[in-house]
Amino acid sequence: MYKLAFYVPIDDAESVKQAVFESGAGHIGLYENVCFQTRGTGQFRPTKGTNPHIGTVGSLASVEEFKIEMICDEAHIHGAIAALKLAHPYEEVAYDVWLLADL
């Protein structure tokens, strides 16, 4: 079992979550579309050669984002990451994957 966490602009959160859920992530027991989200502010500076969704090249930008966390089984984790990257508006997606211990 894995935990997948990613950051997404608030306006794009529902469509990105739905894409990741449809890939098979977010199931706990008989529940589906399970996640936790925390609101925060992301910061970045696009550099030369980028095509930023938000902000302009060379300028520091900040955006209100959600950090979305969900569980994903081994059979679906690669598909969930692929769905995340496809649905996410950023050209570089910030995400983490943790292997969870079964205690």
| pLDDT reported for residue 71 | 98
Structural domain boundaries, residue 95: 2-99
What is the per-residue pLDDT for 10? 97
Structurally, how many domains does the chain consist of?
Answer: 1
Distances (CA, A) of 34 to 24, 41, 69, 98: 11, 23, 9, 17
The pTM of this model reads 0.90
Give the N- to C-terminal CA distance of the chain in Å, as an integer: 12
Alpha carbon distance 9, 70 (integer Å) = 17
68 token code pair: 């979305």
Q: What is the pLDDT of residue 54?
A: 87
Q: What is the CATH number of the domain that holds 19?
A: 3.30.70.120
* pLDDT at position 52: 87
pLDDT of res. 102: 85
Contact between 4 and 85 (Cβ < 8 Å): no
Low-confidence ranges of the chain (pLDDT < 50): none
